[in-house]
Amino acid sequence: MVRVMCTGRVDPAFILRAFSNGTDGVFIGGCWPGECHYPTEGNLYALSMVLLIRKLLEQIGVNPQRLRLEWVSAAEGIRFAEVMNNVVKKLQELGPIGEGEGIEQNALTFRLKAVENLLPYIKLVERERLIVRFETEEKVIEFFKSDEGDRLFRELIADPLAISQMMLLLREKPLSAGEISERLRLDASEIRRHLHRSVKQGFIKFDEGQKRFALA
């Protein structure tokens, strides 16, 4: 499927939907920085969004190289062909999504679903905290590689994502902290921290009889 629009209008939901439908890779081609047709510099916004989604993919164990952004003008037919050949070659090296990462299909579906459930929140915090308006491509990349960028991602995205995954698991049945840790492959102390926070917020309760956590 091909969509034609300003790269600044590419919704993260489009990307997640493609991966959820089994697409092995997503390519976004945009105008070169400094040549955006809109005063909002949509291509630099798209770069910020792509770097954020790559961090999310890495967080759930999916190779971030499956999402690719390249600058290609309408007059660069030869470059476009070269880029697309490179994209196809890279995806062939990576293999089918999930299989290439050693993730079972059910686990992959579960992880992508947790991200999708979090998207409304992610869109809110990205506008407020994570998508910083920089004037150059280099400054955007520098921010997402910085300690501050990593801290914000961990606090604003990674922790809520872990809680989203916990909530999905507990929809199936009550589980102990150890079982949740094993299913999500997250450190037990981290899981206990998230459980404690969720209990205080009233989202999760502890069943004394079963010695398990369940949705409130």
What is the pLDDT, as a whole number, of residue 131?
A: 63
What is the pLDDT, as a whole number, of residue 6?
A: 78
* Structural contact between residues 25 and 127, judged by C-beta atoms closer than 8 angstroms: no
Mean pLDDT of the chain: 89
What is the pLDDT, as a whole number, of residue 202?
A: 92
Question: Which of 34-38, 113-117, 159-163 has the least mean pLDDT?
Answer: 34-38
Q: How many residues does the chain have?
A: 216
Q: How far apart are CA 115 and CA 59, in angstroms?
A: 10
Backbone dihedral angles phi then psi of residue 175, each to the nearest 5 degrees: -140, 155
- Is pLDDT of 159 > 80? yes
pLDDT band per the 50, 70, 90 thresholds, residue 44: confident
Average pLDDT score over residue span 64-87: 93
- Is pLDDT of 1 > 60? no
DSSP state at residue 71: E
Torsional class of 50: left (φ above 0), alpha (ψ -120 to 50), beta (otherwise): alpha
- Is pLDDT of 196 > 70? yes
Q: Which of 37-51, 74-88, 111-125 has the highest mean pLDDT?
A: 74-88
DSSP state at residue 32: P
